[in-house]
Amino acid sequence: MAKLILIRHGQSVWNKKNVFTGWVDVPLSREGVDEALRAGEQISDIEFDVIYTSVQIRAIETAMIAMASNKSTKTPVVQHTEGKMGEWTTIYNEAMSSNIIPVYRDWHLNERYYGELQGKNKAETAAVYGDEQVHIWRRSYDVAPPNGECLKDTAERTIPFFTENILPQLEAGKNVLISAHGNSLRSIVMHIDGLNEEEILKLEIPTGIPIFFEYANGKINRAK
């Protein structure tokens, strides 16, 4: 039985400042580091075979900090495939090469793109456009913020990536960790749990709290 663990990154600096972040690449706050450490304690007994993150630093930080508490003797190693990084990160020791957990970063797992809201304070934006309009931009399924993505747009990149890249790993019996973002993970959970457009709007994914799934007999189910 393969395990799938989803973790939304710990609190970021802009989460703390109540600012729309989207694709702006900000790091974890001190509280976010602590959340990642606590998440790591909850998954410390799981022997992961592969890790996926977005390309954004807050998701990468969360995965690596969480794995610092893992009891596995394997080392998480970020995979590089292009240019000098691809060539010069080759491991020339067979024992060490077989004792790593590959970490793949991919933009398909990035947070929802908030367009022209990025960098704006959420409360100040609500004062300008009204609470209802900002709520629609943040929580509706198919209404995007100005020049940004709606959740439907996000799902159109995350779900194919999940089915084409991550699902085969589970089918091969591998334990997978995904460290990503509130909306990219919401869209994946929508796919896994078979939620409709109304149900997904009610789903909250808090920062730094692992979500546990198991894959068996061709199905992914919430772990009991």
**Given the residues 61, 111, 149, 181, the one annotated as active site:** 111
* CA atoms of 63 and 66, how far apart (whole Å): 5
Catalytic site includes residue 111: yes
User: 172: which 2 tokens?
Assistant: 């091969």
Share in percent of the chain as helix, strand, coil (round to 5): 45, 20, 40
**Strand-pair partners of 213:** 4, 222
Distances (CA, A) of 46 to 15, 171, 223: 29, 17, 13
User: 219: which 2 tokens?
Assistant: 């199905």
CB 2 within 8 A of CB 214: yes
Residues 6+ positions from 180 with CB-CB distance below 8 Å: 6, 7, 8, 9, 52, 53, 54, 59, 109, 110, 111, 188
Catalytic site includes residue 9: yes
CB 156 within 8 A of CB 187: no
Residues with a known catalytic role: 9, 111
